[in-house]
A and B are shown apart, each in its own frame.
Chain A
Amino acid sequence: MSSETLNLTLRVWRQNDPDTPGRFEHYQLNGVSTHMSFLEMLDVLNEQLIESGEEPVAFDHDCREGICGTCSLMINGKAHGPDKATTTCQLHMRRFNDGDTVTIEPWRATAFPVVRDLVVDRSAFDRIISVGGYVSVNTGNAPDGNAIPIAGSQQEVAMDAAACIGCGACVAACKNASAMLFVAAKVSQLAILPQGQLERSERVVSMVTQMDDEGFGSCTNTSECEAACPAEISVSNIARLNREYLRASLCGRD
């Protein structure tokens, strides 16, 4: 356990807008409580900056309990910081030591352009979902919930995939900036469940095509995404996506 308060040097990426080049700024932050969350530490930094007349560091965050997927940040070169299965907002300062220099960068991917400072635009993910990440069922068309039995174990596997929070850490951590884990999670969830069967082929083909169009890289099969994923989505979903895609390309409708 580290000491109760920390003095840190923060090396933070600052960039005014998408079109101007950014740079690192160094800030000294003293007396950081080890009980603070990482984002609370940034709140303190921002209060300090505002008081000294400097514009605060922009960063995305919302629920601060690890589920909304809004927070991002590369912390010392690791997506969401050093801990496994953790989002930046769940990271606590007790993981750092007095005197540390902490480097904070935005997600970097062509498909995630920087908006300002540490904020990036992840709307590419929405566009990928919009081309097929759903079951096409209009409101009011549903049979009774128990009409289709789904084995508990099968449901669990679907739920494992469905747990994706859409934060983009997989893209950020991948050396190819590939979005395969994100896409695979949704494809898998719906390929496993009976509800998703009818659109199985079209879905995977459309989503992969959109993923490429957004400018994400190709899968490295190195599982770095899995290690960075706060929702612990497994790369076995990527294998499933590959299977689904092959199947759709070979046997799907022309």
Chain B
Amino acid sequence: MDALCRICCIPAELLAKVPGLGPIIRMCCTSVGQKVLMALTGLALCGFLVTHLSGNLLLFAGEEQFNAYAEKLHSMGPLLKMAEVGLLTIFLAHLGLAISTTAMSRRARLKQYAEKESKQEAFAIPNGGASSWMLLTGLGIGAFVLLHLVDLRFELRPDLDYSSATQDGTDKAYATVHLVLSSPVSFVAYGVALILLGIHLSHGIRSALQSLGVSHPRWDKLIEIGSMLFAWAIALGFLCVLGWVALTG
């Protein structure tokens, strides 16, 4: 792990030589800086989730609208490719930072307590201790994203007959979504993953804001409640889509 860190540091050291960038690169190497980057990438991914969800909600509008939206998206060509690459980079960065900060924290306490309890009042623990599960929920979501890409981006699921959702030689997004989600494997996996997403975000958003220094005695409570609502709104939004598609499938 340490060797890996050192290798990763080489480009950083080079970048730090660029005039003006030094402090920023050095920031990215500290625990605080990495939490800032975690926050930024995390919030960017949230932005993507919002767009993704709003697109998905078009499923409720009907087959035509949804297919039109999909075609419009695909017609963007290179722009879409760039967005995909960007998204992937952000995703990988978020993952890499998670591993890096976790490693740092593991090293910070090599010997565990025989007994450890929280001193926070039970109801005050943000979302019942979601923070303890960030890496696991995150990895779970990562696995789901892979499945999701295989299912719908690359259409490579061996147990599905994608041709049934093809019309006139072109994909029909609406039908494909229904095809994929009609598989019980997908339904369960997607459902579980979305709950994980809710848990992840319920700590993640509040945490990201705190890492970015968004805090004020007057607004803290509101920020906390708002973050929680947003997190579960996203998760529930997707769950509704999932449920609806399954019902109408």
Contact = CB atoms under 8 A, between A and B. Distances in A.
Nearest to B127: A222
Contact of B109 (A74, A176, A235): A176
B26 interface: yes
B109 A76 contact: no
A96 B86 CA distance: 57
A101 to B, nearest CB: 10
B108 A215 contact: yes
Contact of B26 (A82, A103, A249): A249
B67 interface: no
B235 to A, nearest CB: 20
A98 B135 CA distance: 41
B32 interface: yes
B6 interface: no
B23 A252 contact: yes
Interface stretch (B49-57, B114-122, B161-169, B177-185): B114-122
Nearest to A237: B215
B24 A249 contact: yes
Contact of A240 (B104, B111, B211, B213): B213
Interface string A192-225: 0000000000000100110110011111111110
Among A84, A244, A254, the most chain B Cβ lie within 10 Å of the Cβ of A254
Interface string A229-254: 00000011011111111101110101
Contacts of B104: 176, 212, 217-218
B23 A78 contact: no
B131 A221 contact: yes
A238 B136 CA distance: 25
Interface string A73-115: 0101111001010000000000000000001010011110000
A110 B119 contact: no
A248 B33 CA distance: 11
B115 A103 contact: yes
Contact of A249 (B33, B108, B214): B33
B160 to A, nearest CB: 40
A84 B115 contact: no
A26 to B, nearest CB: 13
B31 A221 contact: no
A176 B101 CA distance: 9
B36 A223 contact: no
B23 A243 contact: no
Contact of B117 (A77, A223, A246): A77
B19 interface: yes
Contacts of A235: 210, 215
A228 interface: yes
A222 B126 contact: yes
Contacts of B115: 74, 76-77, 103, 105
Contact of B213 (A175, A215, A246): A246
B207 interface: yes
A110 B26 contact: no
B119 A177 contact: no
Given A240-B213, A249-B33, 6 more contacts: A175-B132, A220-B207, A221-B35, A222-B125, A227-B120, A236-B220
Interface of A: 13, 24, 74, 76-79, 82, 84, 103, 105, 108-111, 173, 175-178, 180, 205, 208-209, 211-212, 215-224, 227-228, 235-236, 238-246, 248-250, 252, 254
10 A-B pairs with the lowest CB-CB distances in the bound complex, closest first: A243-B213, A239-B215, A217-B108, A217-B105, A176-B105, A77-B115, A218-B31, A249-B27, A221-B207, A77-B117
7 contacts: A105-B113, A208-B30, A224-B118, A236-B217, A242-B210, A242-B211, A249-B33
